[in-house]
Amino acid sequence: MPQGQPSVVPDDGLTTRQRRNRPLVMVHTGVGKGKSTAAFGMALRAWNQGWPIGVFQFVKSAKWKVGEENALRVLGASGEGGTVDWHKMGEGWSWVQRDLQGDNFSNEEKAREGWEQVKRDLAAESYKLYVLDEFAYPLHWGWVDLDEVIEVLRDRPGTQHVVITGRNAPDKLVDFADLVTDMSKVKHPMDAGQKGQRGIEW
């Protein structure tokens, strides 16, 4: 993104500085590649600023993205930038006790449990960047109440940035978000009969 000038100066009573540092809700949606990848790329910048980062992977199986996870864990433990907490729904969430994990709970319940923790962390201002990876899906499916999510995000305290990824981001979320990018597929190797490969897809 080239550095640019805003095209309008809003009459919102904020100084440029206040407006600049306003925390953002960002959405990466669309059917193309790069939605999650760009969110984890953003985490590199946040890490470099020394921000605490919370990743919540709202996917059934969290085998993928192990590259990003390992990289961010190494960065978080390097002592040079911010910290990284990486939570996976696929393993039953790290804060949930062992006996509540596994197949006793539906994916819908697990997704809701993930959101409950995000709410607690937002209230406690645990992180400065939240990556809610694939969170658009439980919202799209109605597993997590969209109106509540928007209300909680709108009223979150302090300076907490949130990026939500996934296809089919609901219109209401797109309307509410500050920054929305749609990743469109122009061409993908699977169209030419090529399967995903190590180092590229995961």
Helices (H), 11-157: 16-20, 35-48, 66-76, 107-124, 136-140, 146-154
Smallest gap from residue 184 Cβ to a copy of itself (A):
4
DSSP-derived secondary structure for 78-99: SSSS--EEEEEGGGT-TTS-GG
User: 177: exposed, middle or buried (C-beta count within 10 Å: 0-12, 13-18, 19+)?
Assistant: buried
Interacting residues with a copy of itself between 43 and 72 (CB under 8 A):
44-49, 51, 64, 66-68, 70-72
**Bridge partners, 86 (sequence order):** 55
Which region, judged by CB under 8 A, interacts with a copy of itself, from 89-97, 106-114, 143-151, 176-184? 176-184
Which region, judged by CB under 8 A, interacts with a copy of itself, from 35-43, 86-94, 109-117, 146-154? 35-43
Using the minimum distance from each CB to a copy of itself, give the nearer residue, 157 or 189. 189
Q: What is the DSSP letter of 104?
A: G
Our finding on whether 20 is near a copy of itself (CB under 8 A) is yes
One of 55, 122, 129, 150 touching a copy of itself (CB under 8 A): 129
Which region, judged by CB under 8 A, interacts with a copy of itself, from 104-112, 116-124, 149-157, 170-178? 170-178
Structure tokens at 9: 């100066």
